[in-house]
Chain A
Amino acid sequence: MIDDVTTSAQIVRAIGVRKVFRMGDEEVQALKGVNFSVRRGEYIALMGPSGSGKSTLFNMIGGLDKPNAGRVFIDEVDIAALSTIELAWLRCHKIGYIFQTFNLIPVATALDNVMLPLLFADVPATDAQDRAVELLKKVGLGERIFHKPVQMSGGQQQRVAVARALANNPAILLADEPTGNLDSKTGHAIIELMRELNESEGVTVISATHDYKMLSVSDRIAWLTDGVIERFAKRDELDIKEGSTDVRH
């Protein structure tokens, strides 16, 4: 069913997504009915103040957590209807995840980290190794394939994470504050890298962020406040609002 890839323009569709967290008697409504769709090949930034529900929405779209109500469709497949194995398949092939904290496997080298999703996808070891080396070169880490995460800087670790996320040619790159733990310059390089991949490979990028540098590369910005999407902005509209002097072509 997942493989009946419709070439529908909408790669992600969230309808009325709600998420409630209960802590004892207290209830936190993290998402209060979010409607959200993303076109194939789009670069979307998900912005909003701390606690507005960006990470929660990221988890729902990525199939990493279940909503209390509403539906999420990836390529027109309702992810709530997937079995655990189909869900693993989705995470393995359709979506590449990038986290603020990098989340590399600490005991594994950069190469082994990038190879892991390939092994999960049943790619033969030699092909997996070639692909992993190629990806690490692409993110500029050709010299460091045998380094462990502890031997790398934050920016380098995040590059490994980007390479790992791309291993199985996902249709969607989901990032939750990918630059949150990086300095401004390194963060900029990661943003640029994601933009390049978006343009060259056509991968859809959805990134939750606090980072205003992300705005200039995004096609669209979704503003999340208090569990609802308040508004969407196109890049061109935004430039005017932010008073940018960029000349639009």
Chain B
Amino acid sequence: MTPMQQIAILPYRKVIAIAMRGLRFRLVKTFLVTCCIALALAFLTYILCSNGMTAHLADRASDALQQRLAREGMLDQLKSADKQSQTAWMLGIALLISFVGIVNAMLISVTERFREIGTMKCLGGLDSFIVKLYLIESLFQGVVGTVLGMVIGVILAYVEGVGRFGGDTWNLLPPGELAVLLVVTFGTGIVLTVAGALYPAWRAAKMEPVDAMRSEV
């Protein structure tokens, strides 16, 4: 038999089973990392939704609401340059929190297992197996955390909206725009999570096993 035949490219089904076993065993850490992803995404989704609502006050709010807001001087205030730059700031901060929070959480959770990666290489694990393992693990946490965060963010934005704009809130964000916004946040969450895990996993997979086993974080 040739070497190629005796070294397995494990099917995804088996890699998924191994990844899930790890996630289950590290339940507390899995939970914390997922929460971190969810929190960051909740903030991002909330900012985007609530910005979207205020942006549409002029063209979608009912006359009654427009009059009330005009009376309170809120309409002018919302249009002011100050408010606009504040909005941009908040969005920037939300993105930064997502980036730093998620990438950092994933980076730590992978680098603290470099030794395990080195050991798997000693047992005959292929580089591609290691990358797949962490791809699945981070995808799982990314999807759960991101969806959870998006749900929380949307709820927060609408609860606050109802408080400020009453029943008009439901009409402020056009469904198409809301859909685009959700797709973008979902993509952001998944990309940050997977990239944050795959980069260190790929680096560890490429290392000589001793170097991976030696690095303790």
Contacts and interface: CB of A to CB of B under 8 A. Distances in A.
Interface of A: 2-3, 59, 62, 64-66, 84-86, 88-89, 91-93, 97, 103-108, 112, 116-117, 119-122, 148, 164, 168
A42 B161 CA distance: 78
Interface in B98-149: 115-116, 119-127, 129
B211 A65 contact: yes
Given A106-B116, A122-B8, A91 B123 contact: yes
B121 A91 contact: yes
B208 A86 contact: no
B112 to A, nearest CB: 11
Interface in B2-56: 2-8, 10, 14, 21-22, 25-26
Contact of A93 (B6, B116, B213): B6
A88 B7 contact: yes
Contacts of B126: 84-85, 88, 120
A234 B121 CA distance: 34
B124 A89 contact: yes
Q: Number of contact residues on B: which range applies? A: 20 to 34
A130 B145 CA distance: 38
Contacts of B125: 88, 116, 120
Contacts of A119: 8, 10, 14
Contact of A107 (B26, B121, B122, B127): B26
Q: Which of A84, A88, A122, A168 has the most CB of B within 10 A?
A: A88
Contacts of B121: 88, 91
Contacts of B124: 88-89, 91-93, 117, 120-121, 168
Given A65-B211, A93-B124, 18 more contacts: A65-B208, A86-B3, A88-B125, A89-B4, A92-B7, A92-B124, A103-B119, A103-B122, A104-B119, A107-B22, A107-B26, A116-B123, A117-B124, A120-B7, A120-B129, A121-B7, A122-B7, A148-B25
B1 A121 contact: no
A93 B2 CA distance: 12
Contact of B122 (A84, A97, A148): A97
Contacts of B122: 62, 64, 91, 97, 103
A148 B123 CA distance: 18
Contacts of B14: 119
Contacts of A116: 120, 123, 125
Contact of B208 (A64, A97, A108): A64
B3 A85 contact: yes
10 A-B pairs with the lowest CB-CB distances in the bound complex, closest first = A92-B124, A122-B8, A107-B25, A89-B3, A120-B124, A117-B123, A64-B209, A65-B210, A103-B119, A89-B7
Contact of A64 (B1, B115, B127, B210): B210
A3 B208 contact: no
Nearest to B14: A119
A22 to B, nearest CB: 13
B111 to A, nearest CB: 15
Contacts of A93: 6, 124
Contacts of B22: 107
A86 B8 CA distance: 12
A120 B123 contact: yes
A92 B3 CA distance: 10
A69 B136 CA distance: 39
B8 to A, nearest CB: 4
Contact of A89 (B6, B25, B129): B6
A96 B3 CA distance: 17
A59 B115 contact: no
A2 B123 contact: no
B11 to A, nearest CB: 10
